[in-house]
Amino acid sequence: MKLANAGASRDANPPEWLDEVLSSIQAGKAVRKEFAGGGRLHIDRALPFLCVHVSGDEDPVAREIAQANASHLLAPDAVAATPIVRAIGMLLERRFGAFMVLEIGEFARDELLTDNAPLLPPFKIEVMAGSKGHIQAAARAFIDAAEVIPGKFRTPQVEFREWPEYRGEADEPLEIPFPLMRVRFAPIYRQRQSGKVYPELRERLIANIFDAVLHAFAAFAGATGSIAVSTHRALGRKAFIDAVVRTDRSIDEIASSFDFLLAVTPINAEAAWSEFAASDCERAPRFLYRPLVLQVDAAKKKLFSVPFEHLEDPVLYQLYREKQQELDLQLSMLSARDTPKFVEFGRALYGPVEPSLLRTAQDILARSQGVVSDAARIAEQPADWDVVEKRAREMISEYARRCAGFEASVEVRDDLPAGLLVSGRRLLIARSTVMDASRVEPILSHEIGVHLLTYFNGSAQGLRLFRSGLAGYEGMQEGLAVFAEYLSGGMTGQRLRLIAGRVVASAAMLDGASLPEVYRVLVGDYGFVKTEAFNIALRVYRGGGLVKDAIYLRGLLQLLEHLADGGTLEPFWMGKIAASHFGVMQELHARGLLGAPSVGPIFLDHPEAPSRLARAHAGMAPLDMLQQ
């Protein structure tokens, strides 16, 4: 298509590069073109709309909202913008049968709309659109979405005007033959006198108005029948720009520079038990740890030097900010290892033990008294580390057969407490591990079928964030892993008691109880055998007091609630995500930014897995999982 067919406007000459851009759009290619005056055209896929921002850097938030869109134009002035919009619009209108333009900007100042609320008065959003056609549906959808913007700081007051009866002061609308909608909002993110920025308010404003813009585009698409969309959020970007990849690699480099759990796990578990037993269980033993392999201050400096301002996607911006905060807390915990501050940093990272969670744990322990202990079960059919290692290698080989990229290693270690641990792509098995033979398959379903599987599926998503884990992912990960034990037929009363005991111990630790006191409660009040009680206490008091073990039961309860509400498991296999990110994963998948999982869990092939999953969908409590 030649630009001459599109016609000129406002005496503007079309840029020389426009014909090449039009050819790329016709060929289904993405376009990202920077041009003079700070302008940019970005189209990651053909859509029946374009978001336009005109005024250079004068309206920074409006500019960020515009560039968050999958199809946007940033132009220094209307003269430069008009021929570009006309040419692209005519091309896409022929393809879709309809095309709209949404121009967004800011008012010069934030005017107080009322004297009745001097501290947090409403702020103005103005919407202008034509009086006819499908643009009215778009305007109404934007207004409906904007009017319900959460009012933590200030609530919007939306005014609608029709183009025929209104013209702007000096900046007239673009001269284009397509339905046009203009949005202006007050710059409430800046202090009225000093001009200083409120960062949190700025982020909220960008996210909320961007969401309203997507509502407008979805309503126009629905009214015109130009494209079908499952949700307005599916109209967001479907491709990562280079800035996202650079940020992702920088964050992953920091996350991969240390192993948090290994750093806070004692290397002298057996010696510590001997020391504790020798004191008649009266004195807490001394725990020894690996030396830190990183300089915490340097890691933090690097962490907070990672730029986020060029991500151009509010959803990804929020995900990386959350991850930055989580890594900051983990690094703070490492710097405070074996000090009282460690506990408080852990409380900030993992949260407290909620009263409802503690009551559930206590109820499980009370109603499961008298179950056969793991010690008794192990005595009947023992499986040591050698048995576990062989079966682990077999299971990993099966996953590798199903997915070529599934390359995990197995290490048997002498410096770990009894049990298994996943670190990145490694499965670590303590040489002191002994378990009942019937527990081997479930525990490997837990470690390999969830932790390793989501690591590799996350690695295949293009961004390493999904393999290292979104902020707060561990609770849902552990909930999924415990549920995997149930689906594979290996949930026992003693295993459930162990998970509940960890919650009780974590709550007592946060309340100031000592390790010996918690140990005595577990043995005397809840009937745990001595070695089991000590292992629980060791996990809870490692590092100086780690509340992480409460997340197993919390995550399980969240998962069971999710399934009872009609949710599915599939999105959780895409990578390591938190319960709060379920909607985000659905959106990114709908946009095409996330693909389907590369491989599914083998434990879902268990003959009883479908019926067990159906029972969870019907609603179940943790104790119901004992009814295999």
What pLDDT, on the 0 to 100 scale, is given for residue 117?
54
What pLDDT, on the 0 to 100 scale, is given for residue 131?
77
Q: Which residue has the higher pLDDT, 593 or 347?
A: 347
pLDDT digits (tens, 9 = 90+) for 55-96: 866 789 999 999 999 999 999 999 999 999 999 999 999 999
The arithmetic mean of pLDDT across residues 507-518, rounded, is 98
The arithmetic mean of pLDDT across residues 292-318, rounded, is 93
pLDDT tier for residue 7 given thresholds of 50, 70 and 90: very low
CB 127 within 8 A of CB 58: no
What pLDDT, on the 0 to 100 scale, is given for residue 487?
97
The arithmetic mean of pLDDT across residues 478-484, rounded, is 97
What pLDDT, on the 0 to 100 scale, is given for residue 110?
87
What gap in Å lies between CA 461 and CA 159, rounded to an integer?
A: 42
What pLDDT, on the 0 to 100 scale, is given for residue 151?
62
600 CB contacts (<8 Å, ≥6 apart)? 573
Domain ranges within the chain, ordered by starting residue: 3-233, 259-293+336-364+439-626
DSSP state of 311: -
List the structure tokens of 537.
């206490």
Count CA atoms within 13 Å of residue 124 on its CB side: 16
pLDDT tier for residue 447 given thresholds of 50, 70 and 90: very high
CB 31 within 8 A of CB 88: no
What pLDDT, on the 0 to 100 scale, is given for residue 523?
97
What gap in Å lies between CA 144 and CA 429, rounded to an integer?
A: 56
pLDDT tier for residue 173 given thresholds of 50, 70 and 90: low
Q: Which residue has the higher pLDDT, 554 or 176?
A: 554
Pairing of strands 156-162, 434-436: unpaired
What pLDDT, on the 0 to 100 scale, is given for residue 12?
64
Q: Which residues of 258-278 are buried (b: 16+ CB within 10 A; e: fewer)?
A: bbbbbbbbbbbbeebbeebee
Which residues lie across from 54 on neighbouring strands? Answer: 75
139 CB contacts (<8 Å, ≥6 apart)? 127, 129, 160, 181, 216
- H or E segment at 420? strand 420-423
Number of residues assigned to the chain: 628
What pLDDT, on the 0 to 100 scale, is given for residue 18?
94
What pLDDT, on the 0 to 100 scale, is given for residue 589?
87
Secondary-structure class of domain 3-233 per CATH: alpha beta
CB 247 within 8 A of CB 253: no
The arithmetic mean of pLDDT across residues 28-51, rounded, is 93
Q: To the nearest 10°, report the CA torsion of 148, 45, 317, 352.
A: 70
Q: Percentage of the chain surpassing pLDDT 70?
A: 93
What pLDDT, on the 0 to 100 scale, is given for residue 9?
44
Q: Would you tell me how many other CB atoms lie within 10 Å of the CB of residue 395?
A: 23
pLDDT digits (tens, 9 = 90+) for 199-244: 989 999 999 999 999 999 999 999 999 999 989 999 999 888 889 9
Q: Which residue has the higher pLDDT, 376 or 157?
A: 157
pLDDT tier for residue 118 given thresholds of 50, 70 and 90: low
Q: 3-state SS string over 475-520? A: HHHHHHHHHHHHHCCCCCHHHHHHHHHHHHHHHHHHCCCCHHHHHH
- What rounded mean pLDDT belongs to the chain? 91
What pLDDT, on the 0 to 100 scale, is given for residue 5?
36
Quick check: 4 pLDDT over 50? no
pLDDT tier for residue 114 given thresholds of 50, 70 and 90: low
What pLDDT, on the 0 to 100 scale, is given for residue 83?
94
List the structure tokens of 520.
């005595």
Longest dimension (CA), the chain: 93
What pLDDT, on the 0 to 100 scale, is given for residue 58?
77
- Coil, strand or helix: which one is 556? helix
The end-to-end CA distance of the chain, in Å, is 66
